[in-house]
């Protein structure tokens, strides 16, 4: 668990606070996303958690321990750290790069070697192909994967990630995000994740912390933020397509009308979705099949009917607009 208590940061020579009296808590096993425009203080907050920056005032507790009272190097070795520029050491092989923290911790060479191979595999790289290579011999996507593998090498319970998928093209980014989320299902790390991309924030975050000019504007789950943005700033950050984004986070079962009998025509024509799939997908099916409603199934069984009217009503309700 990570807890920030009234943290402020003012850089020498700056006339305003980069981080202004911020308090929040990140629970174990959660991904907490810091979201905001550049200069909002999100990276500074992240860097204060592993003491790459020192707060001007306030306290930071990690698992109950005040980080300002522990040795910074040891603290950093106990947290995974991933940055957008990756920062692999160019003169070290991939094996040495990933094994960096174990090396600093004094692991035996054999144990490190095994761990490195295991991690590269987890990150979707072929160990035999890459271990002897140097970073400049890899593609951007491969380097990002190595960067994440390096951060996870000593199995830290906490990961700090500063736009970790920011340096790759959108297609690779989406794949890396998906892979990372499925890894997270398994490993349940406590993660602080910095991004300026609202879509990435909604996708990755269990919890969003929205910042502007050093101040905390809103925190809450993605759906909370989308359905009740705190102010104009959050609204502009979310963008015009708020309704569609909400539909991406809403399951079909929450908007359907329960129904027992099977509408054969819908099932027969393939006009159905699974109950846990997002409403956005139901819209896609409706458009493709040119239908006003879809059947909602749980596995093989039909449990309800989702109509265009229901969806519209929902959008209008959450956007606070009248029908």
Partner 1 sequence: MSFDPGLFMKAMSHQAPPYILEHLNLVLIPMGIAILIALPTGIVITRPGYRHLSPRIMAVFNAGQTIPPLAVIAIFFPFLGLGYGPAILALTIYALMPIARNTITGISTVPEDIKEAARGMGMTSWQVLRRVELPLSVPAIMSGIKTSAVLTVSTAVLAALVGGKGMGAIIFAGINFFQPELILAGTIYIGAMAVFIERFIVLMEWLLSPAHLKG
Residues forming the site for partner 1 (CB under 8 A)? 50, 52, 73-78, 81, 83, 85-93, 100-101, 104, 134-136, 147, 150, 160
Interatomic CA distance for residues 168 and 141, integer angstroms = 6
Kindly write down the DSSP assignment for every residue of 190-247, as one continuous string. Answer: EEEEEES-HHHHHHH-SEEEEEETTEEEEEE-HHHHHHS-SSHHHHHHH-TTHHHHHH
Cβ 9 to partner 1, closest distance in Å?
17
Cβ 241 to partner 1, closest distance in Å?
33
Q: In the complex with partner 1, which residue's Cβ is closer, 82 or 255?
A: 82
Q: In the complex with partner 1, which residue's Cβ is closer, 90 or 258?
A: 90
Q: In the complex with partner 1, which residue's Cβ is closer, 92 or 289?
A: 92
Q: In the complex with partner 1, which residue's Cβ is closer, 147 or 304?
A: 147
Cβ 192 to partner 1, closest distance in Å?
13
Interatomic CA distance for residues 299 and 297, integer angstroms = 6
Q: In the complex with partner 1, which residue's Cβ is closer, 116 or 279?
A: 116
Cβ 165 to partner 1, closest distance in Å?
16
Q: For residue 323, what are its two tokens?
A: 């029908």
Residue 3 makes CB contacts below 8 A (sequence gap 6+) with 24, 25, 26, 60, 61, 62
Cβ 106 to partner 1, closest distance in Å?
12
Interatomic CA distance for residues 179 and 6, integer angstroms = 35
Residue 192 makes CB contacts below 8 A (sequence gap 6+) with 2, 26, 32, 34, 45, 46, 49, 158, 159, 160, 161
């Amino acid at each position: 668990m990570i807890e920030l208590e009234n943290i402020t940061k003012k850089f020498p020579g700056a006339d305003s606070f980069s981080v202004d009296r911020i308090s929040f808590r990140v629970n174990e096993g959660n991904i907490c996303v810091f979201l905001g425009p550049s200069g909002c203080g999100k990276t500074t907050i992240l860097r204060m958690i592993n003491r790459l920056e020192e707060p001007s005032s306030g306290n930071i507790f990690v698992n109950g321990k005040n980080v300002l009272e522990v040795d910074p190097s040891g603290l950093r070795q106990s947290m995974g750290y991933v940055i957008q520029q990756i920062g692999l050491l160019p003169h070290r092989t991939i094996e040495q790069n990933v094994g960096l923290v174990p090396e600093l911790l004094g692991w035996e060479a054999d144990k490190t070697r095994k761990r490195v191979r295991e991690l590269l595999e987890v990150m979707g790289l072929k160990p035999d192909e890459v271990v002897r290579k140097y970073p400049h011999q890899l593609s951007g996507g491969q380097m990002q994967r190595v960067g994440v593998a390096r951060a996870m090498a000593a199995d830290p319970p906490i990961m700090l990630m500063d736009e970790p998928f920011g340096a790759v093209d959108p297609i690779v980014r989406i794949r890396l995000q998906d892979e990372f989320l499925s890894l997270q299902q398994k490993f349940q790390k406590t993660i602080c994740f910095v991004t300026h991309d609202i879509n990435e924030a909604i996708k990755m975050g269990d919890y969003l912390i929205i910042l502007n000019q050093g101040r905390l504007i809103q925190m809450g789950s993605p759906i909370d933020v989308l359905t009740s943005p705190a102010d104009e700033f959050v609204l502009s950050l979310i963008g015009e397509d708020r309704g569609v984004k909400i539909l991406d986070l809403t399951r079909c079962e929450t908007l359907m009308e329960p129904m027992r009998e099977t509408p054969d025509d819908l099932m027969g024509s393939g006009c159905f979705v699974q109950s846990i799939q997002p409403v956005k997908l139901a819209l896609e099916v409706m458009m493709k099949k040119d239908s006003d409603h879809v059947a909602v199934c749980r596995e093989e069984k039909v449990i309800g009917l989702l109509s265009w009217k229901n969806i519209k009503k929902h959008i209008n309700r959450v956007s606070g607009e009248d029908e």
